[in-house]
Chains A and B, each alone.
Chain A
Amino acid sequence: MTMATTPGRAPRRFRISKRALPYVLSLPALLVCIGILIPFFTAVFYSLQRYRLSQPWARKMNWGENYLNFFSDPSFWNTLKVSLLYAGLTVVLELLLGLAIALLLQKRSTINNFVSIMLLMPLMTAPALAALMWKLMTNPGFGILSYFLTLVGIDDFRWGASSSSALFTVILVDIWVYTPFMMILLLAGLRSLPKQPFEAAALDGVPRIQQFWRITLPMLTPYILTATLFRLLESIQQFDIIYAMTQGGPGDTLTVFQVEAYLNFFQSTNVGRSAALLMILWAITFFISNIFIKNWLRLRERARGEA
């Protein structure tokens, strides 16, 4: 306790008291964060204002009006619907697909390790660039995927350009990028499960399908929960893929929260509405992230205890 106050051992020149040390060490990081908190509170303030960049003279506080307007605003309900649909579908599909692939690759072998390394590549591709790649592949003129569809007799599938298939197209890109994330987490989870219950079940002649439902799945649940919540947090905020693919179009088909807020800010220059939209998104993510962090810390403690 008194190391810093008893002189003599270490050179005297410049000493920070032991009490202050942790604060001094973390101060720079904290300052950067305060720099981030300021715009956050500004956004809260904007969301309570009538504020259009095109009409600066009409700027004034209107308190909850931006939020109240949402109730009678069909485009807000569309944003909410598309965001939830996008997040729900991507997370569920990625979970199922990721779990299936993790089960396929569970046994350690050269080929399985090779495949799991290969699957890192889509995950390491920038989502915005991944969307461009798929845009090139789904181009009606020369896109290879459009060509494959004509082979099976579908001539006029317009992918991201048609409002009936735009959601499908961006979800496909999302699945391509993020399924490997689910797979990696679940594979790590699968491989860390204790072996004894499975050996015992095999001895008792429990069929493999039963083993999966009764042993694997319950033991894997904490990992599934962590991975799902994490993906849900990111997916409800998806911007890169949707913006790079269709800019939220056609029409308002894909105006999820962040895309709608971006367009509100830069196209209709309605800062107030944009900020209010983001505040609602923030409330949703705050709610999910609290559950996530609690769940994740528990998993982390457990992994550490076993390691």
Chain B
Amino acid sequence: MEYTSPLEKTLRAIALTLVVIFFMFPILWIFLMSFQTNETILRVPPSVVFEPTLTNYQALITGKLETSAASLEINFMRNLFNSVFLSVASVAVAMLLGVPAAYAFARHKFRGSEDIAFTLLSFRFAPPLLVLLPLALYFQQIGLADTYIGLIWVYQLICLPLILWIVRGYFEDISPDIEYAYRIAGHSWFATFRKIALPLAGPGIAAAGLLAFIFAWNNFIFALVLASADKQPVTVGALAFITASGIQYGQIAAGIVLSIAPTLALALYAQKYLVEGLSLGAVKG
């Protein structure tokens, strides 16, 4: 082992501590805030000693928020439901469309396949508003404005390229020989796809789905442009929240905690897969 001086060790420890504080403090602070009333939040100097209360969460769940002026009705649970529904449905649709396409791109180098795959990938990088603004006008004409179906379709902009590119990489990693052997034994391509390719690429498909879910959940701009209050996910709903005047700060914090908890929990649960997925498989560590 190489020798590290005590000075270097100390400096490293200090640097690491600063890094952890900078990146963890905001989450910790908002978490603490969500258990406080305005009284303890507004104390000077601020303190971490307080009587924790669940009233903020209660108010959010019942949908009746006490403000200094009056009782305000904000249906945050509806936003939370929208987030769950939109993310799950979008990922399901993207899987249904994306996994077969990924298989086709991986196994059959057909004419134009690379061009199509690149076009799909470039959507990942195009400015979302470029598509959203004309779409907002179209949706009004064809009656898709402010519907779940319209939103789920637009969410394919994020989910589909992600699934397609990650899953394609996993299919390419499976040796085609296994599939040939199975087909020579007299099975159809569909049976081969279902019994051989799908299970082998299973972990990759799960990872891609997970990542697509997180991206869909965290999306803000799509619903901001296309959805009205009762279809909005938490990312947009929470913004309406903070601009409402006289709201208890603890309730905003509680709303944020409820909104970020699902993605953080998923990330911790599946952190192994995330690294690869985040780089679209660019770095296989």
A interface vs B, CB < 8 Å?
A: 3, 9-11, 15, 18, 21-23, 25-26, 28-30, 32-33, 35-36, 38-40, 42-43, 46, 100-101, 104-105, 111, 115, 117-130, 132-137, 139, 141-142, 144, 147, 176, 179-181, 184-185, 187-189, 191-192, 202, 223, 226, 230, 233, 237, 239-240, 243-244, 257-258, 261-262, 265, 271, 274-275, 278-279, 281-282, 285-286, 288-289, 292-293, 296, 299-300, 303-304, 307
Smallest CB separation, B87 vs chain A (Å): 11
Contact B218 A136 (CB under 8 A): no
B interface vs A, CB < 8 Å?
A: 2, 12, 15-16, 19-20, 22-24, 26-27, 29-30, 33, 41-42, 44-46, 96-98, 100-101, 103-105, 107-108, 110, 113, 116, 118-123, 125-135, 137-138, 153, 156-157, 160, 164, 169, 173, 183, 186-189, 214, 217-221, 224-225, 234-236, 238-239, 242, 249, 252-253, 256, 259-260, 263-264, 266-268, 271, 274-275, 278-285
Smallest CB separation, B181 vs chain A (Å): 14
Question: With A125-B264, A129-B259, A293-B121 known to touch, is A36 a contact of B157 (CB < 8 Å)?
Answer: yes
B23 surroundings in chain A (CB, below 8 A): 118-119, 121-122, 176, 179-180
Contact B164 A300 (CB under 8 A): no
Contact B101 A26 (CB under 8 A): yes
Nearest 5 Cβ contacts at the A-B interface: A126-B218, A188-B285, A25-B104, A22-B108, A42-B134
Q: Measured between alpha carbons, how far is A274 from B138 in the docked complex, in Å?
A: 16
B103 surroundings in chain A (CB, below 8 A): 25
Sample (19) of A-B pairs whose CB atoms are under 8 Å apart? A10-B186, A25-B100, A30-B116, A39-B138, A43-B131, A100-B15, A118-B20, A126-B219, A126-B234, A129-B260, A192-B283, A239-B221, A240-B235, A244-B239, A258-B127, A265-B133, A286-B125, A300-B282, A303-B283
A10 surroundings in chain B (CB, below 8 A): 186-188
Contact A46 B283 (CB under 8 A): no
B131 surroundings in chain A (CB, below 8 A): 36, 39-40, 43
B22 surroundings in chain A (CB, below 8 A): 176
Q: Measured between alpha carbons, how far is A101 from B173 in the docked complex, in Å?
A: 31
Q: Measured between alpha carbons, how far is A78 from B173 in the docked complex, in Å?
A: 48
A30 surroundings in chain B (CB, below 8 A): 101, 116
Known: A185-B283, A261-B133. 9 other contacts (CB 8 A): A33-B119, A40-B134, A120-B271, A125-B264, A132-B252, A136-B33, A141-B42, A192-B284, A300-B281
B260 surroundings in chain A (CB, below 8 A): 124-126, 129
Q: Measured between alpha carbons, how far is A39 from B142 in the docked complex, in Å?
A: 13
Contact A240 B220 (CB under 8 A): yes
Q: Which residue of B lies closest to A303 (CB)?
A: B284
Q: Measured between alpha carbons, how far is A230 from B137 in the docked complex, in Å?
A: 31
Contact B127 A257 (CB under 8 A): yes
Main secondary structure of the interface of A (DSSP, over half): helix
Contact A293 B118 (CB under 8 A): yes
Q: Measured between alpha carbons, how far is A265 from B130 in the docked complex, in Å?
A: 11
Contact B100 A134 (CB under 8 A): no
Name the residue in B22, B98, B129, B242 with the highest tally of chain A Cβ atoms < 10 Å from its Cβ: B129
A300 surroundings in chain B (CB, below 8 A): 169, 281-282
Q: Measured between alpha carbons, how far is A131 from B20 in the docked complex, in Å?
A: 19
Q: Measured between alpha carbons, how far is A46 from B264 in the docked complex, in Å?
A: 40
Question: With A132-B256, A136-B30 known to touch, is A239 a contact of B239 (CB < 8 Å)?
Answer: no
